[in-house]
A = this chain, B = another copy of it.
Amino acid sequence: MKVFFVTKNRGKLKEAEVILSSYGIEVKMLAVEKEEIQSYNLEEIALHALRRIDFQDAPFFVEDAGLFIEALNGFPGPYSSYVYKTIGCRGILKLLEGIDNRKAYFLSVVALKIPSTGKVEVFKGKIDGFIADKMQGEKGFGFDPIFMPDGYKRTFAEMSVEEKNRYSHRGKALRKMGEWIVKNLR
């Protein structure tokens, strides 16, 4: 079984390969342009992107994720990628200076399309945690160095891909997709 992941992010691709291989699913990169709309809603962004892609060869999926910080009214949310590229982890730490409430969560939305039937399925994963006081770790990507899952004293950037996948929002959403594929596509 082969599925295509519409992404140009090799970090995300690596995470997906590791998870889906345990369901006997092979992941290939589909490096086409994704039309991303501005929205507060990750599911709307993912479904819109999926609708605009004309690909018939095999099931394919898009994934959108965001870091939602409670004290910042959900910022950077769906714009996490842009915010990371401009103000980065340091900008987030500065915005939270002197703020006690460090609660945050990562949300991942995976939208899968089965071209043979035209059907679309959505899978979500969420991980609660908090923003660390400083950047820690070199692994992962994006805001991983400042995010600690609840109950842990290490950031996502201090975990191996396998360990991060166990807890992460994307790990959860991708496992849901893996289970669904195993049940429904063979």
Residues of A within 8 A of B (CB): 35-38, 40, 45, 72-77, 79, 82-83, 85-87, 91, 94-95, 97
Grouping DSSP codes into helix (H, G, I), strand (E, B) and loop, the A interface class, with mixed when no group exceeds half, is mixed
Neighbouring B residues of A82 by C-beta, 8 Å: 38, 40, 75, 77, 79
CB distance from A6 to the nearest CB of B (A): 15
Known contacts A35-B37, A36-B37, A38-B36; A83/B75 CB under 8 A: yes
Whether B86 and A73, one on each chain, are in contact in the complex, defined by CB atoms closer than 8 angstroms, is yes
Contacts of A40 in B (CB 8 A): 82
Q: How far is the CA of A97 from the CA of B36 in the complex (A)?
A: 32
* Chain B residues near A95 (CB-CB < 8 A): 87, 91, 94-95
Q: What is the chain B residue whose CB lies nearest that of A34? A: B38
